[in-house]
Structure 1
Amino acid sequence: MTFPFPMADPAAHVLILDDDADVAYAARLLLRRHADRVSVLSHPRELARQLEGEAGVPDVLLLDFNFTRGRTDGAEGLQVLAQLQALPLPPAVIAMTAYADVALAVEAMKRGACDFITKPWDNARLAAAVDGALARRRPAPAATPVQPAGDTMDGACAALMGDSPAMRELRAFIASVGPTQANVMVLGENGVGKELVARAIHAASRRAGRQFLAVDMGSLPEAMLESELFGHRRGAFTDARGDREGRFQAASGGTMLLDEIGNLALGAQAKLLTALERREVTPLGADRPQAIDVRIVSATNLDERLLYDAQVFRPDLLFRLNTIVIRVPPLRARRADIALLLAHYLDHYACQYQRPRMALAPGAAEALHAHDWPGNVRALRHACERAVILAQADAYRLEDFGLFAPAAAVPAAVPPPTAGALTLDALERDAVGAALAQVQGNISHAARVLGVSRAALYRKLEKHGL
């Protein structure tokens, strides 16, 4: 069965080098679905033993840049980065620091880092960075015979579950658009599955046997945009010790998803437009352009009206990207699919966590169906995982999903709390659960609601088993 979220790369090893145990735990928890093996080290002196041992060189290294209390200059991380670059086959390094310093980001990437993450990070941004780093380390697949589009559609849309008219229309649209070479712009709210749509378009295309590469455009520093997208040559800038291909070259022959395109700065939009118009890129330090053969799918949650505001988005770039526009409906607009999605995710997580399969308690199904799901399918998926983990009864109750009945449904006379119900631990657990429910499971937002750091919130989640 195909599940509409990333599954672990069966051969990938991700290493986290960070002296903050809470940060390392959070990263490991997030990335275990993106790699077969995720390991943790707390200090650079442990790295040499790791590299020389059976574990060897990881595919991707998440590298903290400060290990000594009081240090904020990133010199320790840069030293580790230099040592790694001297290896015959260095890992892809994603730099991490709590100090959002653009100069340090540029310096790290000039010295060989493939990406840069500031702490606290956005989970989707970190996962995308790791997926992109892993994708670029895989060898380019050999060309495969072209398949008729009809033979690929079952697999292409397997992840786009739902039997509502809106979803049937979406799958039919993908079946029609996929086999063409037209650029596609995917619009929709957070959590509706825009990347799933992009992957389905790729799988239904004549490029299905080649690379699909997703790039988070909003997170690329403008100063590094050309190096990231177009690549660079040895000596193009200080410490550019070797040639490095860009994202366009890495996706050659395949499809590239320009995710969060609406967040791209106007200056960066001009550079992207030039590459798309000429169908060629010139790596930094090179004197000749390279032809590119990439199908472009772009995605954004930006209000469509803002896309036509020239102060926000270049009209000439928009017309290059939106040959075909696909608007993915929010979950509240296809409520008929909620029951199917609930059954799918509850069954999946029951298998994953080895819990018994259970039915929904009376009234829960109706309440879940009526809920607006502002986080869309992603929020529903997280709610199902929470319910499977927390359920204590013989059926899933509404509160297991982090949702609660309206206040009007609560009896006016509430019995006094039983002895021990007002312990600090119990109150803390309830407060954390309520905060997570309020923000649809977003850790960063929940931490802000509670007035604690992300690291402190992760400790509380582990403490209370949430």
Structure 2
Amino acid sequence: MPKDGKILIVDDNKELLLALKLYLKPHFNSIHTEHNPNRIQEHLQKESFDIVMLDMNFKAGINNGNEGLYWMQEVHKIDKDLAVVFITGYSDVELAVKAIKKGAADFIEKSWDERKILSTLKSVFELLKSKRAIKGLQKKQKHLNECINADKDVFLGQSDAMQSIMAMITKVAPTDVNVLILGENGTGKEVMARTIHQSSNRKSEMFVSVDLGAMHENLLESELFGHKKGAFTDAKTDRTGRFELASGGTLFLDEIGNLSLAAQAKLLTALQNREITPVGGTHPIKVDIRLICATNMPLQQMVNEGSFREDLLYRINTIALELPALRQRADDIDGLANFFLNKLTNKYNKSPMTFSIDALNELKAQQWPGNIRELEHAIEKAVILSDHTIIEQSNLFLNQENKTSLKDDCYNLHDHERLLIEKALANCKGNMSKTAKKLGINRSTLYEKIKKYEL
């Protein structure tokens, strides 16, 4: 059975240090000793410990315990969650009780009762693990609350292309291999990532999604790895990063092709070492994630051009899945349309609706440059505006003359900007990088405007 737990013992009695180290070494992962309390900070900055054992009195002739209490405060300034166990003489028991009231985990006496020493440290360590587990659950609770109402029912499709992908997922999902999902914008890459997670051995743990395309470069490291209070101007409290939130489960990084080379290097280091260090932190945190990434960008071409790291590409695409565009899977449009129709009539408390044959034929005749997302938005608009239980072709508003053309007699900037973005998206067939370049804006700005106009 593997040993666990790292202990730092600080006492001016070198013989006691040696005796404790020899006795405890077989029972814990590592034992470090130090006779000079002034070097505590140095030890804690180099390594992370679970328990610090502290002498209550370092100076000869002084037995008030204030030194021990002082050093405990210094330890907790560095890491408030570290468990401190005091080493006391028989006559110092009252001082030890006072120390417990001020935050110590427990105390042991120098009378050398081996069984008492070991049982005390084991109990403190088990309690510490329980507290950490509870704290981890509390960190995840907010994210769980956000995800609890996420749609569980999805329609993946019956077309040959989708059935081939699902056959591959059946083989891949039970493993922990990294998966790269490719495809145009709006093809359902996050839905596919969630499907992989729900079919995996990690399905009872967290699925954490991060949209890298919509994230500002300056916030990326804090978002992924977390930060400590005071790490920068607005860091009012500690923040848990997405890697730590996803530990034990699945981390989905959408639009990974949007990362700068500097961010790619940091991500690669975290994936290779399977640990992260929060911004402003000194101790690395071990993480256990299943990584799924997605992009609509040509990563191999970017590698050739020098804008994407080849070693990172190898790391993230153990298995690559390419989702077809909606125009390439027309057999699925009937099923998707009816799935969204049922979902949206429930959302807006409408009576059950159906499509006319002409309406379905019109849906299948469209090119859908925005893919599934564009289809859903079109049906949502029809559900909201229709006063009847049958949605006709005219209710779909798919062939309006002003859909992709600017009106000469309209000077409303809001309307023109929306139409211009729609036109650019259609012209670039949903490719976000090309659309942003054509519009003369960056990708994160384009994402913000797409969300603003619900495109």
TM range (shorter): 0.5 to 0.7
- Please list, as runs of the form range in 1=range in 2, the aligned pairs for 1:213-362 lying within 5 A after superposition: 213-238=208-233, 240-362=235-357
CA contact (8 A) 1:214 1:259 kept: yes
Equivalent in the alignment of 1:90:
none
Equivalent in the alignment of 2:194:
199
Q: Which amino acid aligns with 1:368?
A: L
Equivalent in the alignment of 1:384:
379
Q: Which amino acid aligns with 2:141?
A: R
Q: 1:434 to 1:137 in 2, by over 3 A?
A: same
Equivalent in the alignment of 1:138:
141
Helix, strand or coil at the partner of 2:162: helix
Equivalent in the alignment of 1:163:
158
CA contact (8 A) 1:157 1:200 kept: no
CA contact (8 A) 1:215 1:258 kept: yes
CA contact (8 A) 1:248 1:294 kept: yes
Q: Which amino acid aligns with 1:387?
A: A
CA contact (8 A) 1:402 1:433 kept: no
Q: 1:302 to 1:435 in 2, by over 3 A?
A: closer
Deviation sequence 1:209-239 (CA, Å, 0-9, x none): 1111011223333333332222223343446
CA contact (8 A) 2:140 2:245 kept: no
Helix, strand or coil at the partner of 1:344: helix
The reply on whether 1:181 has 2:184 as its aligned counterpart is no
Q: CA deviation at 1:263?
A: 0.5
Helix, strand or coil at the partner of 1:138: helix
Distance in 2 (alpha carbons) for counterparts of 1:320 and 1:264 = 15
Distance in 1 (alpha carbons) for counterparts of 2:386 and 2:288 = 50
What is the Cα-based RMSD across aligned positions, in Å? Answer: 4.2
Distance in 1 (alpha carbons) for counterparts of 2:184 and 2:419 = 24
Deviation sequence 1:81-118 (CA, Å, 0-9, x none): xxxxxxxxxxxxxxxxxxxxxxxxxxxxxxxxxxxxxx
Distance in 2 (alpha carbons) for counterparts of 1:317 and 1:389 = 45
CA contact (8 A) 1:402 1:436 kept: no
Deviation sequence 1:410-445 (CA, Å, 0-9, x none): xxxxxxxxxxxxxx99xxxx9999889868899xx9
Equivalent in the alignment of 2:369:
374
Equivalent in the alignment of 1:120:
none
**Which entry has the higher C-alpha Rg, 1 or 2?**
2
Deviation sequence 1:235-274 (CA, Å, 0-9, x none): 4344644432211111111111111101111111111111
Distance in 1 (alpha carbons) for counterparts of 2:383 and 2:421 = 16
Helix, strand or coil at the partner of 2:253: strand
Distance in 2 (alpha carbons) for counterparts of 1:303 and 1:265 = 15
Q: Gapped runs of 5+ residues in structure 2?
A: 1-137, 145-150, 402-408, 440-445
Equivalent in the alignment of 2:185:
190
Distance in 2 (alpha carbons) for counterparts of 1:240 and 1:359 = 52
Q: CA deviation at 1:335?
A: 0.5
Distance in 2 (alpha carbons) for counterparts of 1:237 and 1:304 = 33
- Please list, as runs of the form range in 1=range in 2, the aligned pairs for 1:429-440 lying within 5 A after superposition: none
Deviation sequence 1:165-218 (CA, Å, 0-9, x none): 111112221111111010011111111100001111111111111111011223
Q: 1:366 to 1:273 in 2, by over 3 A?
A: same
Q: CA deviation at 1:379?
A: 0.8
CA contact (8 A) 2:183 2:322 kept: yes
Q: CA deviation at 1:360?
A: 3.2
Helix, strand or coil at the partner of 1:389: helix
Q: Gapped runs of 5+ residues in structure 1?
A: 1-134, 142-155, 407-423, 462-466
Q: CA deviation at 1:357?
A: 3.5
CA contact (8 A) 1:391 1:400 kept: yes
Helix, strand or coil at the partner of 2:304: coil
Equivalent pairs counted in the alignment come to 287
Equivalent in the alignment of 2:394:
399
Distance in 2 (alpha carbons) for counterparts of 1:303 and 1:262 = 8
Q: CA deviation at 1:359?
A: 3.9
- Please list, as runs of the form range in 1=range in 2, the aligned pairs for 1:19-98 lying within 5 A after superposition: none
Q: CA deviation at 1:395?
A: 3.4
- TM-score calculated relative to the size of structure 2: 0.55
- TM-score calculated relative to the size of structure 1: 0.53
Q: CA deviation at 1:299?
A: 0.6
Equivalent in the alignment of 2:5:
none
| Identical pairs, percent | 43
Q: 1:229 to 1:360 in 2, by over 3 A?
A: closer
Q: 1:397 to 1:177 in 2, by over 3 A?
A: same
Helix, strand or coil at the partner of 1:209: coil
Q: Which amino acid aligns with 1:386?
A: K
Q: Which amino acid aligns with 1:402?
A: F
Distance in 2 (alpha carbons) for counterparts of 1:228 and 1:434 = 33
Q: 1:399 to 1:329 in 2, by over 3 A?
A: same
CA contact (8 A) 1:261 1:300 kept: yes
